Structure 1
Amino acid sequence: MIYTVTLNPALDYFVEVERVNFGVVNRSNYDYKAPGGKGINVSRVLKRLGHQSEALGFIGGFTGDYIKTVVEKEDIKTNFVQVAGDTRINIKIKSESESEINGVSPDITDEHLEQLQKQLAVLNEGDALVLAGSVPATIPSEIYEVLCKSARTRKADVFIDSSGEAMKKVLESQPTFIKPNHHELGELFSVEINEPKEAIPYVQELIGKGIQYVLVSFAGDGAILGTKDQILFANTPKGEVKNSVGAGDSVVAGFIAANQEKVSLEDAFKFAVATGSATAFSKGFADRDQVESLMKEINIRELERDE
């Protein structure tokens, strides 16, 4: 079974305005609401790829009810821990440029964390745990490290998509897979990384820590996937980017889906990159037919490793 954990979900409120003018009333041309949170996104994409998962995390209030209702309507199982406050609302403004106003997360208590850990006690060999997104301020930043260690002890695979301190602290727990973008990889090592070849020594260092797969995305410039045996590069398919929300989460979902289907490493990498691109080229999330079509445009080649 695949379990996704979203510690800091949100109701995402998308607003499109021709131009933002401060100090006056602005009227939107278009708006819509959607469940937000990286782990939730992974569950929603997995479902579109033909794989069931169970969405876990913390929700509360009317906004939390909305998220739970929408996710369950998509036939995705949920087992969220209910908290006292309202799940945050993130406002995403689409105008001349994109801007965001992220809301404040509700308090998460020790009791809430204990509930989540009890839920994850069912993990076993063959299961996959996805820990994705930011960590609320009321939760210790080492929470991913704690959850990852516990899951790895139970021989479950752990997939991480986060950044900052939460990502730094989980690395020593030997997650199965991590997916930083090139900016996040640079932050881990306090360097600037602009192109794939510059990432190679840092990917090798992460692999040396016992991480099985390190996938680094470079947006339209492709992606690299490192393992202990090789470093692969994949180009990005051509298309019009319509949606930047959830593309990275789709890469994670695509890799997990391919991994569950036990395809070759190269095909898993292609499938992951194609899934991210399919979401970027859509107004919603990727669907499988589009992913399989885009795979035909992706070529994989091996990069030389640093000695």
Structure 2
Amino acid sequence: MIYTVTLNPSLDYIVSVEHFKLGLTNRTGFEQILPGGKGINVSIVLKNLGIASTALGFTAGFTGDEIIRELENTGISQEFIRLEEGISRINVKLRSIDGTEINGRGPEIKKERLKELTDRLCRLQRGDVLFLSGSIPVSVPENIYSTIMQQLKDKGVMIVVDATKDLLMNVLPYHPFLIKPNNHELGEIFGVELKTRQEVVPYGKKLQELGAENVLISMAGEGAVLITKHGAVYKKEAPEGKLVNGVGAGDSMVAGFMAGWLEKQDYEYAFHMGMAAGSASAFSENLATKAEIQAVYEQVTRINLQEQTGGIL
């Protein structure tokens, strides 16, 4: 079974406002409300690819009810723990001003409720896959991901971590199967600026030296880099396409990579599937469909063939 954990899910209120002006009343030209959170995004993309998963985490209040309703309408299995107080957060994402968003705090998660989740995860078995994705509420200890991995270290669970800073660094001693920093997050860890695919390679290898098995580095328009546990390095430029919505592109890349890996256990295929899923979501209004991912995958593999033949097909 595949499980995704989203400790701080949200309702994402996505709006577009032409000619936005501070201090004045602005009206939306486009608006959309979707369940959000990195683990939820992974579950949605996996579902679009025909792969079942169970979404875990916490919900609260009327917003939590809507998150669950939306997931169930999408056909995604969920076992969220319901909190009695607070509300799941609302994130406002202003699509017309790239990268501008206001994210809510989320409800307080008490120790006994957090233990309910960790106890649930302890029931995972050899061969299961677990995604630990995204930020955590302020009420949750910063070592929560490493605590979960410590509890599962001898169970043979394949664990994927998509997180930043200490959340990521704390899990490395427990040897996650895959981590996915972007180039900015990787540079922040080591106090450097990383702009090219070649520049990220030595720093990705440093994360391997600290314990990660495979390191997938997303770089938006610059493409992506994969460093495998066997030392192979795959580098690929980004497919051509128009950026429509960058929200969830990184989560889609993680989902696509693992979908490819679970299908063939082939790193190159998984890398191309990851790039295709991430780019397809970036080129789409919503998280990418299977057809959209397949179309970009064909472009990615065509680029790969051109590189192998020196541009002659």
> Given the two structures, how large is their TM-score scaled by the length of structure 1?
0.94
User: Matches of residues 14-33 of structure 1 in structure 2 within 5 Å?
Assistant: 14-33=14-33
1:160-206 alpha-carbon deviations (Å, 9 max, x no partner)? 11112211212222111000000011112121111111111111122
Alignment-derived partner of residue 208 in structure 1:
209
Per-residue deviation, residues 228-251 of structure 1 (Å, max 9, x unmatched)? 321111222101111111100000
What are the equivalent positions in structure 2 for 1:150-169 lying under 5 Å apart? 150-169=151-170
Task: Say if 1:229 and 1:24 are closer, same or farther in 2 by CA, change over 3 A.
Answer: closer
Looking at structure 2, the residues matched to 289 and 149 of structure 1 have their Cα atoms a distance apart, in angstroms, of 38
Matches within 5 A, 1:65-80: 65-80=65-80
Match of 1:34 in 2: 34
Task: Give the RMSD, CA atoms, in angstroms.
Answer: 1.5
Find 1:290's aligned residue among 275, 289, 292.
292
SS of the residue 1:291 aligns to = helix
Residue 162 of structure 1 aligns with an amino acid whose one-letter code is A
Partner of 2:13: 13
One-letter amino acid of the counterpart of residue 16, structure 1 = S
Residue 293 of structure 1 and its aligned partner are, at CA, apart by 2.2
Residue 268 of structure 1 aligns with an amino acid whose one-letter code is A
Cα distance, 1:284 vs. partner? 1.0
Distance in 1 between residues matched to 2:295 and 2:104, nearest whole Å: 38
Deviation at 1:96, TM superposition (A): 4.6
Q: State how far apart, in whole Å, the 1-side matches of 2:295 and 2:97 are.
A: 32
Q: Structure 2 CA distance, aligned partners of 1:190 and 1:205?
A: 13
Please, which of 238, 244, 247 is the counterpart of residue 246 of structure 2?
A: 244
Between 131-140 and 18-27, the greater mean CA deviation after superposition? 18-27
The aligned length equals 302
In structure 1, the gaps of 5 or more residues are 303-307
**Equivalent pair of 2:127/2:158 in contact (CA under 8 Å):** yes
* 2:95–2:245 contact (8 Å) kept in structure 1: no
Cα distance in 2 for partners of 1:107, 1:20 equals 33
Alignment gaps of 5+ in structure 2 = 309-313
Secondary structure of 1:232's partner?
Answer: strand
Mapped to 2, the partners of 1:98 and 1:182 lie a distance apart of 16
Note the alpha carbon deviations across 1:83-135, whole angstroms, 9 max, x for none. Answer: 12100111112335442111121101101111101111221111000000001
After superposition, where does 1:1-307 map in structure 2 within 5 Å?
Answer: 1-83=1-83, 84-227=85-228, 228-298=230-300, 299-300=303-304
